[in-house]
Structure 1
């Protein structure tokens, strides 16, 4: 899955960079999603290879905190990029005449930078607070990567503040982003249903299908991973597997789903392979 995620997202970035027809807001946001997926999947997969292949199950505490930051920061960034892509679809369908003039390259850069800053600011306190906890019990994390709650549960002190802050971060990201995505698609649905042409309706729905599949996949797996830390009892190996899939399935499937559903990407890939063959 990691090899597929790596090759698929690198190919997506290559196609968007080389093909002038893909130089528009939708594909700029898609390239941001691919970059985010590359960092997110690499944050866990490289260490997992060391665990499974070389039996190297140790990780330095500082490295653990760095991994924690990257995982949660880029998870927040991916959620924000999905929100930005929903806004992009809203502009393309509901206000097509102002699409390219409103979503300029400078605005897209500002949106992405703002999302990076948001993720950094809200996630940075998590590893900082975790680093100040006393760990006098076992240092064994029943996980394949340094998830925030998996680490702080090892502390031999009250972790209410850490748990509450982690919950607050998740709620801020999910409530804000999911609400924005829901509003965008409500307005899109309302605009599409007003179209008189059946072909226009089908085309509008077709451009949003791939995005909705990715949104449902990302938030469903993320919600499961989040809830298993706080409610209910689930077998540890199931929790570990599902948490890994949460960070590996979206990066693996995102380029595949967009490649299959988007004609421009399929055409650009075909042209690339033909040029390479000759």
Structure 2
């Protein structure tokens, strides 16, 4: 199947239909490969739904830090849910076809929510800065109204820059192969199949990534410089560790988003001749690692979240003992 797909052209398939590859070279064991994918999707969706439900139902979690965590879980869900059907359909050999409009919609959600996740991580860095450097003003600065505005701005800021790329793709002719390299649609992947000048998409995409990820990562870095300066001024070593421990989950979340994201961008732009398997693995890591690991990290590292989840799954008659 993998060999025959490569020879498809515009005369043999409808122009609105594209074909997803799955894991190249491992088509014969796609059913087995689907097992870890199902487990990862289940962990990611169940974990983030649990975090969201715990924050919604537990009044002790109605604080700025946990509102931002809810936004992070929402962004994680937005990254992985749009690809669930197409990935499992390919791995279960049900269908490899995907409509172009569906493909564009899927790309929009993946890229928009990945930008949103970066914006939320920046907001969470600001939250940690206020909590450690200006603790007495924490509740007056991060009011519910201000947090809501931050969430709206993060969503709009993440979605609007992706729209020009999607509009350009709609008008591209695809006169050669219609075979995509992954189990879902990515902008860089479908752009290489276009029979048109894609310079605008390449330059605009690179500028948006550098601007957004660059500014977000710079903002996070500056926040932690101020946090470290404030923490080092604390005389007690135990108090320093306690203050830094409140940032550990956020630092882990930053790393598990930015490392795969940067790796995928480098592979797509500067390692085009690398093995197709490398491209696929990097794309899958970028898609699934943050949604899977973020709930685990916050459940393990954050006592309040852990207590909220336990409280969620225990009978009401023993809630008072947990309080």
Give TM-score, length-normalised by structure 2: 0.84
Instruction: State the Cα distance separating 1:276 from its structure 2 match.
Output: 6.0
Counterpart of 1:267 in structure 2 is: 307
SS of 2:177's equivalent?
coil
| Distance in 2 separating the partners of 1:74 and 1:264 | 26
Q: Structure 2 matches for 1:188-267, cutoff 5 A?
A: 188-232=227-271, 233-267=273-307
Cα separation, partners in 2 of 1:277 and 1:134, compared to 1, 3 Å = farther
Instruction: State the Cα distance separating 1:272 from its structure 2 match.
Output: 2.3
Does residue 160 of structure 2 align to residue 121 of structure 1?
A: yes
2:141 to 94, 102, 121: 102
1:172 to 211, 222, 240: 211
| Distance in 1 separating the partners of 2:258 and 2:212 | 11
Q: Structure 2 matches for 1:49-198, cutoff 5 A?
A: 49-198=88-237
| Distance in 1 separating the partners of 2:254 and 2:317 | 36
Give deviations 1:172-213, integer Å, cap 9, x for gaps. 111110010000001001000000122211111111111101
Instruction: State the Cα distance separating 1:168 from its structure 2 match.
Output: 1.1
Instruction: State the Cα distance separating 1:5 from its structure 2 match.
Output: 0.6
Give deviations 1:73-108, integer Å, cap 9, x for gaps. 101000000000000000000000000111001101
Question: Please, which moves more after superposition, 267-276 or 18-27?
Answer: 267-276
Instruction: State the Cα distance separating 1:268 from its structure 2 match.
Output: 1.6
CA RMSD of aligned residues (A): 1.2
Question: Please, which moves more after superposition, 198-207 or 74-83?
Answer: 198-207
| Distance in 1 separating the partners of 2:309 and 2:228 | 31
Instruction: State the Cα distance separating 1:277 from its structure 2 match.
Output: 8.4
Instruction: State the Cα distance separating 1:266 from its structure 2 match.
Output: 1.4
Cα separation, partners in 2 of 1:276 and 1:60, compared to 1, 3 Å = farther
Aligned length: 278
Larger Rg: 2
1:23 to 53, 62, 70: 62
| Distance in 1 separating the partners of 2:107 and 2:317 | 42
Question: Please, which moves more after superposition, 52-61 or 255-264?
Answer: 52-61
Structure 1: state its 5+ residue gaps: none
2:85 to 38, 41, 46: 46
Give TM-score, length-normalised by structure 1: 0.97
Spell out structure 1 runs of 4+ moving beyond 6 A.
none
Cα separation, partners in 2 of 1:69 and 1:277, compared to 1, 3 Å = farther
